[in-house]
Amino acid sequence: MKNLQEMTDEELALSYVNGNHRAFDLLLSRNQSKLFSYILFVVHDQDTANDVFQETFVKAIAKLHEGRYATTGKFSAWLMRIAHNVIMDQYRETRMGRIVEPTADNDLSNLRGSDLLDGNRENEFVNAQVMKDVKKIMDCLPAPQREVVYMRFYQQMSFKEISEATNVSINTALGRMRYAVLNMRRMARENNIQLQLE
């Protein structure tokens, strides 16, 4: 039998369901930082993020005990989906958020992701400033768009994983990304911000 440190998150979840409470402690320590960062990024409030984080794990525990967890996907994606649902429930209750639905034609062919930044010190400075500007602009996006951008570029989730975590179709996730990019470009243009990496 494997020791707990060698187990995958999925194996730890099943071990916890079978009564091993130390397995859950390890699951929590492995996932708390990434999950809390995601929640805080979406809700923009430390107290709300703490509440959502706690409620997410309470719901995860309940679902595990009810046998509503299958090891067919990543445990972290499953947790993200629960957190997303908790956040959406809070938005509905407080009327803080609005969901922007995409149109039928979603085209992301113009997106390029390159995290290899070459160049001299000046380029490094310019690139650092561009990334700060991008973060500021992202903070102005509606929550559903900000959430997809964060999952895609900061957590390297596939659109399939994003759609599962947010409980929407892949086309909706793609559309939200498309709208996010369009909105970010518009905001950059309106504020004379250059988003080109050197």
Confidence at residue 127, expressed as pLDDT on a 0 to 100 scale: 61
Tokens of 151: 């999952």
Same domain, 130 and 177: yes
Confidence at residue 105, expressed as pLDDT on a 0 to 100 scale: 54
For residue 198, the number of C-alpha atoms closer than 13 Å in the C-beta half-sphere is: 13
Same domain, 142 and 78: no
Expressed as residue numbers, the domain containing 23 is 4-94
Same domain, 41 and 83: yes
Any domain includes 144: yes
**Where does a domain end: 94, 129, 152?**
94
Cα separation, 198 vs 194, whole angstroms: 11
**Where does a domain end: 79, 94, 109?**
94
Same domain, 184 and 128: yes
- What is the chain's pLDDT, residue by residue, as a tens digit (198 residues)? 678 899 999 999 999 989 888 998 899 899 999 999 999 988 888 888 988 998 898 888 888 888 888 877 789 889 999 999 998 888 777 754 444 445 555 544 444 444 434 445 566 666 677 677 778 888 888 888 888 888 887 888 888 888 888 888 888 888 888 888 888 888 888 887 766 655
Any domain includes 80: yes
